[in-house]
Amino acid sequence: MNGLDKQITKEQLRRIFRQKLAKISPEERTEKSKKACDNLISTGQFHKAQTIMFYLAMLQEIDTADSMQAAWQQKKTVVVPKVFWDRKEMRAVRINSFDEEFSQAIAGLRNPKSSDEVSIEEIDLIIVPGLAFDRWGYRLGRGGGYYDKFLADKKLRANKCGFCFAEQLLKEDNLPISKNDINVDLVVTDKEIIDFH
């Protein structure tokens, strides 16, 4: 997307990128997710991390499953978000396989039933979803603010990795940002790795 209208709102951008995601076929999504996971696994940040926080992909999101499997094979600790809707917050909980129990929550989000909470300070790498990312590391979330709040926690020392399809990465334009927006340290797609350090 080039020549982004400077007056465009985040909500308008969310609609645009949801439409882009809807155009990716299930077969393409599987293939692109595998390539992106291979790219992620190849990074120094993944290699060095002992505890990695992944997200559990919703239907049209890029899937993290292959990289989670690699993390388990490399004896890393895998944690995922557990959302507490009543408190409007999420915590990191450990899971040991895809056979864990999950509840199906709002908008198809899988919420782990695990109560094996891991403190935010223990996380070395966090894989961050988004509807879009720009080349300065800023993300467009889904509007719930859960990740914004989590990433803003002063105790978080983890590297933050934006994870998305190439179609979700702006080519030249930057996303509209507010003072509360936090940029990631790297972005990994099915086509490239952008390390901001």
List beta partners, residue 127: 161
Question: Is beta strand 51-53 parallel, antiparallel or unpaired with respect to 77-84?
Answer: parallel
pLDDT, position 1: 45
Number of domains in the chain: 1
pLDDT, position 5: 57
Half-sphere exposure of 89 (CA within 13 A, CB side): 9
Cβ 92 vs Cβ 120: under 8 Å: yes
Question: Distance between CA atoms of 164 and 130, rounded to whole angstroms?
Answer: 7
Q: Is the pTM of this model over 0.85?
A: yes
Look at 172 and 56; give whichever has higher pLDDT: 56
Give the Cβ contact number of residue 32 at 10 Å.
Answer: 21
What range defines the domain where residue 47 resides? 16-195
- 132 domain residue, yes or no: yes
CATH code where residue 159 lies = 3.40.50.10420
- 56 domain residue, yes or no: yes
Look at 6 and 98; give whichever has higher pLDDT: 98
Token pair of 77 as six digits: 């600790």
pLDDT at 104 over 70: no
- 119 domain residue, yes or no: yes
Q: Average per-residue pLDDT in the chain?
A: 89
